[in-house]
A and B are shown apart, each in its own frame.
Chain A
């Protein structure tokens, strides 16, 4: 089964840029989606298809994908961005969705 690897935690000061990596074998060939999850809430889609944003998601959120790494980038980080972030891809070998283990973003 396809495996997505995420760092457990990332810390950043307010106003700075957070980069949240998601590793996978040749993930650059896949469409990657990203979710934000605050405590006690359902996940929320923040980036889909590598670098598209659903309506209502600020342009501070962007994505990139190349080789074995996809990255969610959050510019001008705010306190409200503190949450867990998950990456997701479709495993077309086994026909199922796969999630990464999640990265906790801490805003210092």
Chain B
């Protein structure tokens, strides 16, 4: 059974860097059968996909995709030694206040089939 456990601070000040980690159990961050995503949810923006990281062994390569809305501020990094992946979002503003989720995107190595496992969510509040 796959479990995703999120950790990271819930209260931040404007201009700081948001850092969240998602620890994976029951699967591997470097598995060909998944992609590892960050999503956030707020009343004003709804569900908003932020980005993902995934590995493809046939190419021995990591891939990243990011949403255009945050592309200049975001980095998603895998950590194979700890079997986890992390989100960094720079220069946060109150507009970044949201519940942040990590999630696995099930894949057959070519196609993606939706987010079948989610973390518990972390409420991040940006306020001075």
Contact = CB atoms under 8 A, between A and B. Distances in A.
A33 B47 contact: no
Contacts, number: 52
Which of A31, A43, A94, A101 lies at the interface centre, i.e. has the most chain B CB atoms within 10 A of its CB? A43
B28 to A, nearest CB: 20
Contacts of A45: 114-116
A43 B115 contact: yes
Given A42-B120, A43-B118, A97 B49 contact: yes
Given A43-B47, A95-B65, A102-B47, A49 B121 contact: no
B109 interface: no
Contacts of A90: 112
Given A42-B118, A94-B68, A95-B65, A33 B113 contact: yes
Contacts of A43: 47, 101, 115, 118
Nearest to A101: B46
Contacts of B68: 1, 94, 96
Contacts of A88: 114-115
B89 to A, nearest CB: 16
Interface of A: 1, 31, 33, 35, 42-45, 48-49, 52, 54, 86, 88, 90, 94-99, 101-102
7 contacts: A35-B114, A42-B101, A42-B118, A86-B47, A90-B112, A97-B37, A99-B47
Given A44-B118, A49-B114, 12 more contacts: A1-B68, A31-B113, A33-B114, A43-B47, A45-B115, A45-B116, A48-B116, A49-B113, A96-B66, A96-B67, A98-B49, A102-B46
